Amino acid sequence: MITPEKPISSQPIFDGHVVQLFLDEVELPNGKIAQREVVRHQGAVAVLAITPENKIVLVEQFRYPCNRVLLEIPAGKLDISGENPAQCAMRELAEETPYTCESVNLIHQFYTSAGFSDEKLYLYQAVGLNCNSTLHPDEDEYLELKELSRNEVCAALQNGDIEDVKTIVAVQYWLLMK
């Protein structure tokens, strides 16, 4: 049976708008002391949206940490602590694409990089998609809408054009749906 590490201390290193960084000291199951660098994040959502033409809704966006444009499903961080993830998912879809939806269904929730971060991502599927959004991306977001068929998604996966893990999880789920 795996025994949890016991926290001893936590030193804040950085407090930003998106993440906080801590240097924690923990006691291991064998009694030894170790350090853990921990990135705290309030969580995020992502939306698998399928058009009536059976195409997946994606956005291209430059991602500074990767220094490249990535092809992704619509997504964003929970804006406030305690924000309802389903409502956030519906908002993000409407902000990043011309689409709204009647509701969302939770597909899965997962940690994006559990080795150093507590960020939990909630992956939803949009239900009742409509092309009627009046919202706009955040002022620091520059997005280009892409809609791909199943064959185009398969080709994008094979070519390495989709490198974002939340998008890989979502499109694999979609491809397995019949």
* Amino acid residing at 140: D
Can you state the angle between helices 150-159 and 165-176, rounded to 10 degrees?
Answer: 140
Taking phi first (over 0 means left), then psi (-120 to 50 degrees means alpha), and beta for anything else, what does residue 50 get? Answer: beta
CB within 8 A of 90, min separation 6: which ones? 47, 100, 101, 103, 104, 126
The set of catalytic residues is 139
This model's pTM is above 0.85: yes
Alpha helices, DSSP H, located in the chain: 85-96, 150-159, 165-176
Written as tens digits, the pLDDT of the chain (178 aa) is 899 999 999 999 999 999 999 999 999 999 999 999 999 999 999 999 999 999 999 999 999 999 999 999 999 999 877 889 999 999 999 999 999 999 999 999 999 999 999 999 999 999 999 999 999 988 888 999 999 999 999 999 999 999 999 999 999 999 998 6
